[in-house]
Every structure is written in C-alpha cells, then in structure tokens.
Structure 1
Amino acid sequence: MEPRAADGCFLGDVGFWVERTPVHEAAQRGESLQLQQLIESGACVNQVTVDSITPLHAASLQGQVRCVQLLLAAGAQVDARNIDGSTPLCDACASGSIECVKLLLSYGAKVNPPLYTASPLHEACMSGSSECVRLLIDVGANLEAHDCHFGTPLHVACAREHLDCVKVLLNAGANVNAAKLHETALHHAAKVKNVDLIEMLIEFGGNIYARDNRGKKPSDYTWSSSAPAKCLEYYEKTPLTLSQLCRVSLRKATGVRGLEKIAKLNIPPRLIDYLSYN
C-alpha cells in the first residue's frame, strides 16, 4: 500500500494539481460534518487546485471558522500560497473573519509573509475590518508593507474609504505621507472626495503640498467649490495650530515603537488623550 503523509495524503499526490475536490467544496461551504468525515476517511487536506488553492484557502476566504479549525488540526499547511502568492491568512483577512485570523495565527501563520502582492494587513484594510487591522498590528504587522499596485495599507484603506481602519493605522504610527509613485494617502482621499478622510490625514500630518508623479497636489483632484476643494483650500491658507504641530512632531520623534509609551508619560490625562488622538 502506498505510504501516506502526516496529513493523510498519499505521498505521490501531495502538491498534485487537480480540479476542486470534495474537501475544497465542504471547506468553502462550511459543511464541517462532511469535512470531518472526509478527513477521517483519509482525504488529503493539502491538495491544491490548478490555481494552487488549498482547502484552507477556500475555508479562510469564506470565514468558515469550524472548517479552518478542522483543516489545521488535520495538518493543513498554514502558510500555503495560491497562484497569486496569497496565504490563508490573507484570505481570512479579506473575509474580515477575526476568528479565522486568530486561529491561523495560533497555528503559526506569518503575519508578514514574504509576498510580492498584498499582505494580510492590506487585505484587512480592503475588507474594512478594523478589528482585523488592530489584531494584525498587535502581533507585529508591517505598517509600511508595500504592494506595487496598491501601495501601503494606508493607501488601500483611504482608497476604499474605510475611516476606522485609517484611524487605527495612523494611531499605530503608519507613515501618513508614504508614497506610491509619489501619490500619498491624501491624494487618494481627494480623489474619493471624502472630507472626513482629508481632515483626519491632515490632522496626522498629511502634506497638502505633496505632488504625485503627474506633478499634482491633492487639491488638484477636486472640483472647484466642492466640499473637498474648500477643505484643502482652507488648510492651504490656514496653517495647523501650534498644538497640532507639536502633537505631530512629538509622535514622529517617539517613533512607531514609542507611541505606546505616551500613555505612561507623567503628564495630565487630557494631554495624553490629545497626543493619542482619543
């Protein structure tokens, strides 16, 4: 009889490209009882489709917590990559499933896998799950991970207008003026015409005079007399207050790792709240 791998696959079948298997289907649909029966009967949990999708990818993308748990317990490869290079953690973040994210991390999923595409943090920002964003940051996600198409996670959150995610990123120390082809998050905010987003970025030190690779400032992407145009025009004519400038300068000086120490400073709570944007 042909030997089996630890996950129940026949060794000759591991990594073999196939069409979607019953394991993939059960995992995607959340049919945990059927999945458990398939695993117990010896079905391979690491079988990949022609686009390198494993059952764990399928379950994670749909936020099927129980199926993710069964697959991991049966030896599913936690950092397997599909044809785009994405891991199950990327897919769990794309689904916005905080429970799947926690499970994958508990099994050793890399929060900063060496990808040439969107990172788990990018995916969480795309889905708009501020809870996932906060968890990933807490376990060491790279705030400045760069994707050649999307830029940084902050670029993504701004382009999708996920204000909660934007604030979590900025509070954690994300570079408000990070550039993608010289385009900043403020350029994105101007393009989507979101005044609340524009004001938030400026309060965190966004450069209203930054120019992209076309030589345009954020205000150049607004319609004359529109609310975003008036907002940017106001800040171009009115400098930030001294208190705001001090807040931005102090946070920049402390660095990302020092921001958490602000709450421990021996200063009035009101000042701590101000420096922490509470």
Structure 2
Amino acid sequence: MTEILEERPFGWQYTNVYLSIFVLFCFKLFVKISLNILTHFYVVKGNRKESARIAAEFYDFGQAICFGARKTLCFLAFCIIEDYAQTDLFVQIVLFKYSWMWQVNATTIDGVTPLFNACSAGSVTCTEVLLEHGAKPQAEAFQPSPIHEASSKGQAACIESLISWGADVDFDIPHLGTPIYIACVSRELQCTQKLLDGGANVQKGRFLDTPLHAAAQKDCPEIIRVLLDFGANINARNLELQRPVETAPPNSTAEAVLLLYEATPPSLCQLCRLSIRNYMGRSRLHLISHLKLPTLLKSFLQYR
C-alpha cells in the first residue's frame, strides 16, 4: 500500500487537506455574508443600536482579512446612529480599537459614502469624526454629494463642518444645481445663510435659474431678503427670460417683497459691504474677524 501511495503524484496525497481548507473558507465566507445581511436588515428596520452592536462584532470576526463591503456597511451603520451616547460608544469601538481597518471613503454600489450618510442623518459628531480621519469633504464626480444632501435636509451644522474642511460651496451638479440652489428649493433658511457666510456665489443656481428664482417660486420671503442682502441680482433672467418677481406666485408675499425691493434701491452701507466682501474674495472672508476694525464694523461685514 505504501508503495502505491509513493507512486502517486505528490499533490494527490494532500487532496483531503485542500478540500478541508476549501470547506473552512466557504464556511467563514458564509458566516461573514450572513452577518452582513443581518446588519443590513437591522439598518433597514431602523434598529440602530442592534446594527451598531453587530457591526462592532463583525469587525471582531476575522481580523486577518477585511473586505471593503464589510467596512462600508459598518461605517454606514455607524453614521446613521442619531443617539450621541451610542455614537460615542461606537466611535470608541470601531475608530480607535480597529483603526488599522479604516476605510472612511469606501462607497456602496450606489456611490454613497459614510460622510454622505452622516450628513443625511444630521449627525455632526459622525461628520466631524469622519472628516478628521480622512473623509473627503468633496464628492467625486457622479457620486452623491454630502453638501447637497445636508442643504436639502436642513443640516446647517453639517454644512458648517464641511465648509471648514474645504468643501466647495459652489459645487455644481448639472441636474441639481449648487448647494445654495438646493437649500432655496428646500426652503432651508439656515442652510442658505451658512452657505452664503461660507462664500457661496449668490447668483449661481441651476443653469440660468438663480437661487433668487428658486426662493421666489417657493414663496420664501425670509430667504429672498437674505439673498438680496448678499447682492442677488433682482433682474436676472432664467431660460424663460423671466425675472424672479415674475416666477413668484401671484399676490404672494414673495412677490410683494421683490416689488418693494425694486422700488427701494439698496443703501450706501449695503453697497459698501458688498464691495468690501467682493474685494476680499471668498477664500479670505474668514479673516474678517482678524481685521483691525471695531467689533461693530466686523460684525456688519459678517452679516451678524
């Protein structure tokens, strides 16, 4: 019998060993896929606490191999946790204990990043942590944009974080427009204010539609006043050659505000403020607070 085995190929003698390794690999893969599906199930059902717990255990399983899909799912589960106590716990478990497995810019099949999810949920803590550990504040081409998502959901604090980390406030997506245009369409006054404070171009919207057109169409007098204070052109025309006042609903508050502004030109103080801000440029607006000027004048230049 020994002579027969010795005559057989060397690899054939270890067939059973290879088979065992293959079976073990398939079993581990099955367990990982099951955990992935289970975590996704809890995320969809809204059980954030359970999804975070399973995601943390998921990182404990098989540390030698780390798949991009697993890391992405774990971070997505982390980013939609709205309870700050749970968030801090998950940060401690995942971001610090397993820092070697970070992949903060991983995407789902739809191109969604953890940062996008954090901004969508309005979690400033998650947004800051992801940005601090390498998340890109600016979306790649054809990816969902975090700053657009925050603008549409009214997440002004997330917008402020994104701007402070270098997000482009004038990032133009052809079918959506700029973040400030999205904020006006969504009737989000605070987001509009944050974007303008960050240097957003008050005239840049979607194609020839300006943010003022969007605010007029949505009958948002508060946003209209803010846009006009920042120098919006009341005579700009869209693709239909309509001015903002012509797109406002008839006999609406927005129409009344625009007609009143047409009859009362801006003051000299307002024109001076716009000229100074334009001269400084968007990249240096944050330096206004460091100018050797009276506090009252600095506040005026910052629209405080």
TM-score above 0.5, yes or no: yes
More helix by share: 2
Larger mean CA deviation between 26-35 and 236-245 belongs to: 26-35
Q: Does 1:40 align with 2:40?
A: no
Question: What pairs up with 1:91-170 in 2 under 5 angstroms?
Answer: 91-170=117-196
- For 2:232, which of 206, 214, 224 is the aligned residue? 206
What is the CA-CA distance between 1:95 and the residue it aligns to? 0.6
1:89 aligns with 2:115: yes
Taking a change above 3 Å as real, the CA distance of residues 226 and 78 of structure 1, as seen in their structure-2 partners, is same
Question: 1:165 and 1:269 mapped to 2: Cα distance?
Answer: 25
Partner of 1:186: 212
Partner of 2:13: none
Q: What secondary structure does 2:238 align onto? A: coil
Distance 1:68 1:30, change over 3 A: farther
Q: Which runs of 5+ in 2 are unaligned?
A: 1-20
Q: Comparing 100-109 with 190-199, which one deviates more in the overlay?
A: 100-109
| Number of residue pairs matched by the alignment | 267
| Aligned-pair CA distance for 1:251 | 0.5
Match of 2:254 among 203, 223, 228: 228
> If the length of structure 1 is used for normalisation, what is the TM-score?
0.84
Residue 246 (str. 1) matches residue 272 (str. 2): yes
User: Structure 1's 26 and 107: CA in aligned 2 closer, same or farther, altered over 3 A?
Assistant: farther
Check conservation: 1:208, 1:217, Cα contact below 8 A.
Answer: yes
CA contact (8 A) 1:170 1:176 kept: yes
Q: Structure 1: give runs of 5+ residues left out of the alignment.
A: 3-8
Bigger radius of gyration: 2
TM-score (norm 2): 0.78
Q: Determine whether 1:21 maps to 2:21.
A: no
Matching residue's letter, 1:79:
N
Q: Contact 2:56–2:74 at 8 Å: present in 1 too?
A: no
RMSD: 2.9
Identity of aligned residues (%): 33
In 2, Cα distance between equivalents of 1:17 and 1:246: 62
